Structure 1
């Protein structure tokens, strides 16, 4: 287990697992379906441990602290002011002894949170900075109001996701190592801690351990960050939703039923192209509008042309599942003039797809949507 995984050292002998569930207004059995199968029976060695636990670039802790605040501002505009206020007023110590666990202390209404951790510039440390920022932001918003621990950790994991979204757009070189660190953390939070939760479900009278909060919060964080949901994210940071409400939202969402895709094969680019085409086909089948009814040769030729022209994008979520794709044409006379030919997001991730597309196209691009069935076939997209 990496030393920078945030751990809350709290007494575990006075309360039981059943008490913990009741604190969150749920039954213990409510947690039984929240652990992914792939982490349930042992855990593979982390082959990327050296890279994620080695210093990356020259990013200081304050750089990442500022990035996280800007990420919150970008993803949740209504929290922009309070995010920057949290950034500025918190008492932060990023050179704590290496043996100390990362922590954020809520000092109650009218007093700024205190953050302490040992930062050494690794991708894992960067996620930890974002994690503690999420705690600090929620504490600052709560102003002394009690927040149950699962919802506290949900806010912290949401801040990590916000940072990942921000660097993917603003600092792409940092995105890959941060994603690798997040996957390694999944193996801990959903794997090792998930096993702890799984054992606790068999004995509700066992002593409560703070780490039981992590797999539930991590699971919910993945569920709410598959697409952009600024209003929901704001309510999470404001601690305005109970755990039963979060579980209800998770159950009523549009589930992405598609399988995760493998990482690109660097030695066989043709395989990657076939996979991209396959993802487009599956997304169009899920959309059930127009495209699946076309002749195969027409459908294939159009997408092959976009692949060859590098005017296509397939967007994949944090679980590795494709959630949408886009095709566009570039005006030969003006490279900044883009016509969107196809956008498919069958699971409701339209805003997320648009953000991914905007990040890929030139910042100066002017995009128009093509709507052949509309009276105004060409309409400004952004």
Structure 2
């Protein structure tokens, strides 16, 4: 989850307008999200996460290696972001976020706060936050909407999965279990909350509304777009509407 220095109170209507959406269009996307979670969860059995032997330093090194392998042409900016972003390990009080990335503004480097218990999910959390950090640096101060920020963070998780698939079958199985279990949250629980919120246009903004659409778009983009095209998302060159057009989803929103 990324954070900026200042936060203002906004409503559902503001959030929709920011992303060039309306309730009808949003519901159509959420219908596609519901189909995606049904497809993504088919045949998967959840197991306890447990410990799988990674320490924080190793997890971070693997995350950087994964992003470099996923976007080899962008190695320079990935290396620079990895070396200069401050990574702070913190205890996690009950119900607090597992991690967050602080955008310190143009010309600076982000700060990542994270917790670590040695579970497979920790690796995906770190990959998610590093995805945010790379997007912040790659977009060079350009405004990127919250949904698109989360798309980039989820692509960071996909880079971690791809890297494990190519080199560590046991790690891939662990991470894949976490990914599919998280789909139940992002594409299920958060989708339902957003669907209910659409009935109340003046409901105060909730950052979790960004997750179901972002997760869905990240999955679709990974299946249909080249890595070079995916990188343009990190540079802030596409809006939600732009992505929907590329995915040929736009016609259903008319």
Match of 1:169 in 2: 166
* Residue 67 (structure 1) aligns with: 62
Q: For 2:51, which of 52, 55, 60 is the aligned residue?
A: 55
For 1:142 and 1:237, locate their aligned partners in 2 and report how far apart those are by CA, in whole Å. Answer: 6
| Worse overlay, 115-124 or 8-17 | 8-17
CA deviations on 1:17-64 (whole Å, 9 max, x unpaired) are 111011112223222123214759xx9xx9635x22x2112x222322
In the alignment, structure 1 residue 187 sits paired with structure 2 residue 184: yes
More strand by share: 1
Instruction: From the two aligned structures, give the one with the greater helix fraction.
Output: 2
Instruction: Name the CA shift for 1:131/1:186 in 2 (closer, same or farther; >3 Å).
Output: same
Question: Secondary structure in 2 aligned to 1:98?
Answer: coil
For 1:18, which of 13, 35, 40 is the aligned residue?
13
1:122, 1:188 → 2: CA distance? 18
| 1:117 shift after superposition | 0.9
Instruction: Show structure 2 runs of 5+ residues with no match.
Output: none
Report the secondary structure of 1:119's partner residue. Answer: coil
Matching of residue 31 in structure 1 with residue 29 in structure 2:
no
**SS of residue matched to 1:247:** helix
Closer, same or farther: CA 90–230 of 1 in aligned 2, 3 Å: same
Number of the residue aligned with 1:201: 198
**Is the CA contact (8 Å cut-off) linking 2:100 and 2:113 kept in structure 1?**
yes
Query: What RMSD over aligned residues (CA atoms) do the two structures have, in Å?
Result: 2.7
Are the aligned partners of 2:151 and 2:214 in contact in 1 as well (CA < 8 Å)? Answer: yes
Unaligned residue ranges in structure 1 (runs of 5+) = 1-5, 254-382
Higher RCO, 1 vs 2 (CA within 8 Å, ≥6 residues apart): 2
Q: TM-score, normalised by structure 2?
A: 0.85
Partner of 1:140: 137
- Tell me by how many angstroms 1:143 deviates: 3.0
Give the number of aligned pairs: 240
Give me the TM-score of the superposition, normalised by structure 1. Answer: 0.58
CA pair 252-190 structure 1, distance change in 2 beyond 3 A: closer
The question of whether the paired residues in 2 share the 8 Å contact of 1:17 and 1:28 is answered with no
SS at match of 2:101: strand
Q: How far, CA to CA, are the matches of 2:28 and 2:229 in structure 1?
A: 22
* Partner residue, 1:287: none
CA distance in structure 2 between the partners assigned to 1:36 and 1:174 by the alignment: 28
How far did 1:228 drift?
6.2
**Deviations 1:121-162 (Å, cap 9, x if unpaired)?**
111111000000000101112233322110111110000001
Q: Is 1:90 the equivalent of 2:88?
A: no
Matched, 1:235 2:232: yes
Superposed CA deviations along residues 311-346 of structure 1, whole A, max 9, x for unmatched, are xxxxxxxxxxxxxxxxxxxxxxxxxxxxxxxxxxxx
Question: Computing the radius of gyration over CA atoms, which structure comes out larger, 1 or 2?
Answer: 1
